[in-house]
Amino acid sequence: MKRLIILPLLLLSLTLGATKLYVATTGNDGTGDGSAGAPYLTIAKGVSEASSGDTVYIVSGTYNINATIDVAVGINIMGEGSTTILSSTASGSHDLYGYSPIFNLESAAEGTSGSQSISNMHMNGNDTIADGGIMIYRRSDVKIHNVSMENFHYYGIRFRGGAIPPVIYATGNEISYCTIHNCGGPNVSFGDIQIGGQDGMLIYNNDIYQPQRPGFNRAGFAIKYLAGGDNHGLKIYGNVIDCEAGDEYDEWHIAIELFGCHGGLEFYDNRIKSGVIDFSDYEGSFGTDDSEGYGYAVKIYDNVIGSDSSPTNETYGITFERQTKGGVYIYNNIIKNVRGGITFVNPDSGVTEDIYIYNNIMHNLGDMSSEKIYASGVIIGKYSDTLTIDINNIYILNNTIVNNGAGLQTSGIRLNGLAGLTYDSIYIRNNIIKGVDDGDGIGIWLNGVIGNTINVENNCVNDCDYDNTVYTSCTISNLKEQNNITNDPEFKSESTWRLKSSSPCIDAGIDVGLDYDYYGHKITGTPDIGACEVGNYVLFYNGKQLY
């Protein structure tokens, strides 16, 4: 089992006139009054005696929980850190899904303000005997922080706003500085953290690990949608997420799975060791958009995605399914040791548009099996003839895609057509693609593409089986292909992917409106090809070298 980490105790401010009610293993529910000198024995007693604004303070010790504790609005629950242990065997029907978490925070009306927190304790599900950790339903302003959890059967923490979709969304909810290990299962309907009906929720600085569970389809996902998703304004950042890799049980390796994303979502500064970031929805549903009017649907940036060794199972970096529109921005990420880097595949019938993929570094990609499925840096399109789709306004700019490992990468950038799919306004510019020499071995591949206004310009494709752009059964109006080179890009190293001063990619790009490269170096004059602009890096900020 992985080592549990809990940060030092954070002080909780008590509102004026609020009470701190103590619970201790030396207490007594009959004679105690909740004071430090006469604490209660059980957490349930402390919670039942508390009023809004009070804090139930759980002194260090092990507390055996065999039934769910319902927590009213305004009541805070606080332990003394990892030495406050809630050991649960609670199971059965209690929350709206028919499970029994340790704490159930449920209100009758959507959007009810909880104005409360749960913090500084360890929860143990006793080798998945207990159902779950914490359930929040129809409640806003609830903060879970500095809580560690392990080995619950179904879920660690669930936040649900209300109806599907809610009339009034939950707001102000947070999960931070938590360690959640092996709390998602027994199948893909569950997750360590599950969220739905949230507006502006923050999930940050958590350590989430979901190992395999023996048997077919037994492990859930690290972060997963709940009740149809329907989230907007969500920010997930600073987390370490790991789904144990392996295909022994034919599992999907998904770190974050979200349905019903409606604008203003941001994912940044995460370290995803294994598992894809996946955006999808039910068949016939739209998928991902900006219907809530944030000015963008999703931004994914400054993440490191992928394991530290070559892939031996089916895993991806970032995947979008169903229709996608409203502005998706994927930039400044490192994606490594996965089968496929960034994919937009098999959307439902309709329009997928306004996608911007730039300044990403992708390396050691490919499928280690003989299947070689989707083994590409960027792949957009479909693999079924049953849908009618328009894909418009796609910008693939200044990425560095290198096959420098043992994976069977079959293409660098691939647009896949088939009947019923039409492309319009596609721009593939300033990308470096190197070493794609397995399977199809194609740097840039347009396969069965029917479309209008497709620009393939100022790319460097080198050391592939096919360094020139390959068009297979395409019908394209207004195709512009120019200024592409096949010279060695001359990287300084495979750790920074910056260019040598002699690189033919320097000043060989085309202005695509980007101001900075992957490292934050300002682009001046004619851009270089690739994610890394040549410059003198003398300053560090957040682990990146700046000019």
Query: What is the average per-residue pLDDT within 242-252?
Result: 72
The mean-pLDDT minimum among 45-59, 63-77, 306-320, 519-533 falls in: 306-320
Q: Which of 368, 489, 338 shows the shortest CA–CA distance to 438?
A: 368
Q: 495 versus 61: which is more confidently predicted?
A: 61
Q: Where are the alpha helices (DSSP H) in 236-343?
A: none
Query: d(Cα 353, Cα 371) in Å, to the nearest integer?
Result: 30
In this predicted model, what pLDDT tens digit does every residue of 324-347 receive, in sequence order?
999 999 999 999 988 889 999 877
Which range has the worst mean pLDDT, 237-251, 449-463, 502-516?
A: 237-251
Determine which of 175-189, 192-206, 364-378 has the lowest per-residue pLDDT on average: 364-378
- Of 60-69, 198-207, 269-278, 344-353, the poorest mean pLDDT is in 344-353
Residue 47 DSSP SS3: helix
CA angle 345, 349, 351 (to 5 degrees): 80
Place of tokens 């512009």: 480
DSSP symbol at 67: S
Query: How many CA within 13 A on the CB side of residue 210?
Result: 33
Report the range out of 22-36, 235-249, 329-343 with the highest average pLDDT.
22-36
Spatial distance between the Cα atoms of 85 and 87, rounded to a whole number of angstroms: 6
Per the structure block, which two tokens stand in for 95?
Answer: 């929350």
CA nearest neighbour of 166 among 136, 135, 196, 201: 196
Q: Is the predicted pLDDT of residue 246 greater than 60, yes or no? A: yes
Are the CB atoms for 116 and 81 separated by under 8 Å?
no
CA distance 70 to 114: 13
* pLDDT of the residue at 6: 42
Residue 310: its pLDDT value, please?
A: 74
Residue with tokens 């003198």: 536
**Residue 152 or residue 254, greater confidence:** 152
Q: Which residue has the tokens 């109006």?
A: 477
Asked if pLDDT for residue 231 goes beyond 80, the answer is yes
So what's the pLDDT on residue 215? 80
pTM attached to this predicted model: 0.93
Q: What is the pLDDT of residues 44-101, one digit of tens each?
A: 999 999 999 999 999 999 999 999 999 999 999 999 999 999 999 999 999 999 999 9
Q: Is the pLDDT of residue 367 over 70?
A: no
CB 79 within 8 A of CB 118: no
Is pLDDT above 80 for 164? yes
Q: What average pLDDT does this structure show over 309-327?
A: 85
Residue 46's SS3 state is: helix
Q: Check residue 1 and give its pLDDT.
A: 37
Highest mean pLDDT among 147-161, 297-311, 418-432, 532-546 belongs to 147-161
470 vs 494: which has the higher pLDDT? 470
Residue 318: HSE in the Cβ half-sphere, 13 Å Cα cutoff: 25
